[in-house]
């Protein structure tokens, strides 16, 4: 029993010694590893620290190597390399058979050099020391491209696009019609061409960049534009559908001139099916620069001088001619007071930017408006296809619903001699009136449509009556005659 016990004791001692050696070896290895790791760490930190104020190697911007540079050095390098060169860069633009160039300096190109340098400087430094170390060590095997921030003035690009569009655009030409003594001749239309601004904008923005080595080219197709009026459209015009004349023989020079300018502007107007004619749009603003002169106009319930006075006689004449062609108004307003050239309810007043006369062409063929002035008589003919009237004719009449006599107001005036009276202004009778469109068939009325109910103000006069008493006249004292001396 004792021998067995001794042997086990000896074995245990041997095992303990062996484990002790293993532990000592492990401890030694750990110590050596820790020392080595610490040394390596110190080495890594030292290497990374050397790059603290520099951009890591392998960092490039458009193939410009910024590795090893400080921020200031990188900024100078990028400025020197790109800023001047970008102004001279050109982007070829092909539109149809025309060649253009977008010169970058025209759109004020700008590089974000400060932002790009900051991005390059931060590369590899935001993920810890060891990742930074790896970025430094792997710099020879891979290049790290940093995008160079680039921008330009979009408003200047828009101006360039509009300039291009204007240069390439050829406006479509409408077919035109001329009528002389009842003979009609038509000149054919011509197609136009242009470019779509949205398409051009999209393609230019795709092609514009800050890469100096880019070989981009922009190609934009021309688009065909159709004329509003074709020869085929005008061929549907067969003759006169309505006509109306108005005399302005008593008008002064300025008023006559205004009527003639407006008539010349309207003459030859074509209103296509579904379109709306606007008197103000066609005649345009009444200005001295356009030749309009001063003449009497209605302002409220007064007559005052104004540029373009007399124009309302033109709109009234057009209105009456258009109604004879059985085309109804979209917008029409009566005057505030009656006018001498039209019965109450049968007029149409206009004021640029305020009141307009409009009608819509509800036929399936164009309407051609012919206007003329001769011998101080204004005439408007409405041409179209008379067969659409089905043999009927049309005219307007009015019905006076109420007559409003002017009032006379007497005002005492102490500045006038007693008994003297002075009238101011002109009295005008007011009316409430209804207008009708009458349809005739074979000269017989078959229909009566109410068009409008209008009110015209009465304008009274003011009579100033003197109250100043007459001054009494003292007769002269007769001279004294001396008696002869006794």
Among residues of the chain, what percentage have pLDDT more than 90?
Answer: 57
**In this predicted structure, which of 46-60, 199-213, 236-250, 413-427 has the lowest mean pLDDT?**
46-60
Q: Give the pLDDT score at 440.
A: 97
Residue-wise pLDDT for 108-154, tens only, equals 999 999 999 888 888 877 655 545 455 555 655 456 788 888 999 99
**Residue with the two structure tokens 């979009």:** 154
Residue 281 has pLDDT above 70, yes or no: yes
Average pLDDT in the 300-311 region?
76
pLDDT at 258 over 70: yes
> For the ranges 51-55, 96-100, 223-227, 384-388, which has the lowest average pLDDT?
51-55
Region of 68 on the Ramachandran plot (φ > 0 left; ψ -120 to 50 alpha; else beta): left
Question: Beta strand 90-95 with 98-103: parallel, antiparallel or unpaired?
Answer: antiparallel
Residue 79 corresponds to which tokens in the numbers above?
A: 């400025």
Record the tokens describing residue 255, joined without a space. 């008023």
Alpha-carbon gap, residue 66 to 72, rounded angstroms: 11
The answer on pLDDT for 36 being more than 50 is no
Computed over every residue of the chain, the mean pLDDT equals 85
φ, ψ of residue 272 to 5 degrees: the values are: -75, 160
pLDDT of 7 above 80: no
CA-based end-to-end distance of the chain:
216
What ranges do the domains of the chain cover?
A: 236-468
pLDDT band at 217 (very low <50, low <70, confident <90, very high): very high
Helix or strand run (H / E) with residue 34: helix 2-50
Q: Which two tokens stand for residue 338?
A: 């009656």
Structure confidence at residue 63 (pLDDT): 84
Cα–Cα distance measured from residue 286 to residue 275, given in angstroms and rounded to the nearest whole number: 24
Task: Quote the CA–CA distance of 296 and 159 in Å, as a whole number.
Answer: 45
Q: Are 232 and 188 in contact (CB under 8 A)?
A: no
Buried b (16+ CB within 10 A) or exposed e, 75-87: bebbeebbeeebe
Band of pLDDT at residue 39, cut at 50, 70 and 90: very low
Give residue 35's pLDDT.
46
**Residue 192 predicted with pLDDT over 60:** yes
pLDDT at 45 over 80: no
- Identify which has the larger pLDDT, 300 or 167: 167
Reply yes or no on whether the pLDDT at 3 is more than 70. no
Distance separating alpha carbons of residues 422 and 2, to the nearest angstrom: 164
Residue 244 or residue 31, greater confidence:
244
User: Taking a C-beta distance cutoff of 8 angstroms, is the pair 389, 326 a contact?
Assistant: yes
Confidence at residue 377, expressed as pLDDT on a 0 to 100 scale: 97
Q: What is the pLDDT of residue 60?
A: 87
Give CA torsion, residues 270, 273, 278, 284, to 10 deg: -30
Element (H, E) at 430: strand 430-441
Write out the DSSP string of 227-276: -SS-HHHHTT--EEEEEEEEE-TT--HHHHHHHHHHHHHHTTEEE-TT-E
Q: Per-residue pLDDT for 286 more than 70?
A: yes
pLDDT at res. 59: 85
* DSSP code at position 389: G
pLDDT at 486: 33
pTM of this structure: 0.70
CA distance 452 to 328: 11
Q: Is the pLDDT of residue 62 over 90?
A: no
* Closest of 218, 219, 172, 175 to residue 193, by C-alpha: 172
The residue-averaged pLDDT of 343-356 equals 95
Question: Is there a contact between 121 and 71 (Cβ–Cβ < 8 Å)?
Answer: yes
Examine the pLDDT at 407 and tell me if it is beyond 70.
Answer: yes
Q: What is the DSSP string of 289-336?
A: GGT--EEEEEETTEEEEEETTTHHHHHHHHHHHHHHTT--EEE----S
Distance CA 168, CA 384 (A): 36
Tokens describing residue 299: 């302002």
The residue-averaged pLDDT of 430-441 equals 97
**DSSP secondary-structure letter at 173?**
B
Q: Is the pLDDT of residue 183 over 90?
A: no
CA distance 318 to 370: 10
CA atoms of 312 and 310, how far apart (whole Å): 5
């Amino acid at each position: 029993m004792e021998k067995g016990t001794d042997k086990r004791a000896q074995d245990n001692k041997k095992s303990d010694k062996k484990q002790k050696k293993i532990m000592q070896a492990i401890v030694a290895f750990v110590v050596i590893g820790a020392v080595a790791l610490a040394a390596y760490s110190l080495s890594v930190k030292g290497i990374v620290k050397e790059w603290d104020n520099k951009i890591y190697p392998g960092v490039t911007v458009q193939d410009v190597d910024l590795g090893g540079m400080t921020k200031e050095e990188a900024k100078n390098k990028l400025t020197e390399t790109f800023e001047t060169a970008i102004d001279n860069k050109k982007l070829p633009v092909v539109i149809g058979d025309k060649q253009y160039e977008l010169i970058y300096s025209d759109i004020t190109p700008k590089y974000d050099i400060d932002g790009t340098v900051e991005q390059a400087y931060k590369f590899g430094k935001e993920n810890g020391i060891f990742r930074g170390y790896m970025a430094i060590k792997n710099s020879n095997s891979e290049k790290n491209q940093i995008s160079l921030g680039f921008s330009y003035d979009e408003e200047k690009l828009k101006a360039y696009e509009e300039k291009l569009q204007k240069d390439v655009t050829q406006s479509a030409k409408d077919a035109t019609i001329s009528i002389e003594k009842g003979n009609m001749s038509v000149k054919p239309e011509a197609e136009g061409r242009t470019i779509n601004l949205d398409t051009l904008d999209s393609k230019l923005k795709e092609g514009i960049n800050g890469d100096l080595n880019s070989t981009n080219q922009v190609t934009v197709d021309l688009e065909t534009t159709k004329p509003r009026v074709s020869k085929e459209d005008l061929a549907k015009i067969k003759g006169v559908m309505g006509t109306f004349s108005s005399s302005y023989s008593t008008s002064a020079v300025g008023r006559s001139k205004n009527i003639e300018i407006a008539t010349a502007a309207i003459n030859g107007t074509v209103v296509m099916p579904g379109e709306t004619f606007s008197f103000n749009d066609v005649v345009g603003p009444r200005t001295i620069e356009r030749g309009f002169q001063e003449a009497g106009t209605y302002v409220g319930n007064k007559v005052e001088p104004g540029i373009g006075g007399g124009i309302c006689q033109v709109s009234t004449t057009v209105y009456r001619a258009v109604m004879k062609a059985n085309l109804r108004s979209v917008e029409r307003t009566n005057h505030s007071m009656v006018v001498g050239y039209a019965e109450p309810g049968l007029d149409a007043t206009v004021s640029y930017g305020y009141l307009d006369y409009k009608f819509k062409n509800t036929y399936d063929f164009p309407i051609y408006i012919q206007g003329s002035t001769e011998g101080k008589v204004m005439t408007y003919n409405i041409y179209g296809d008379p067969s659409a009237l089905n043999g009927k004719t049309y005219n307007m009449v009015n019905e006076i619903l109420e007559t409003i006599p002017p009032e006379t107001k007497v005002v005492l005036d102490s500045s006038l001699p007693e008994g003297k009276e002075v009238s101011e202004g002109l009295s005008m009778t007011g009316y409430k009136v209804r207008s009708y469109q009458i349809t005739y068939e074979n000269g017989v009325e078959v229909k009566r449509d109410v068009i409008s109910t209008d009110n015209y103000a009465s304008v009274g006069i003011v009579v100033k009556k003197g109250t100043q008493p007459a001054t009494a006249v003292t007769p002269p004292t007769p001279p004294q005659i001396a008696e002869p001396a006794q």
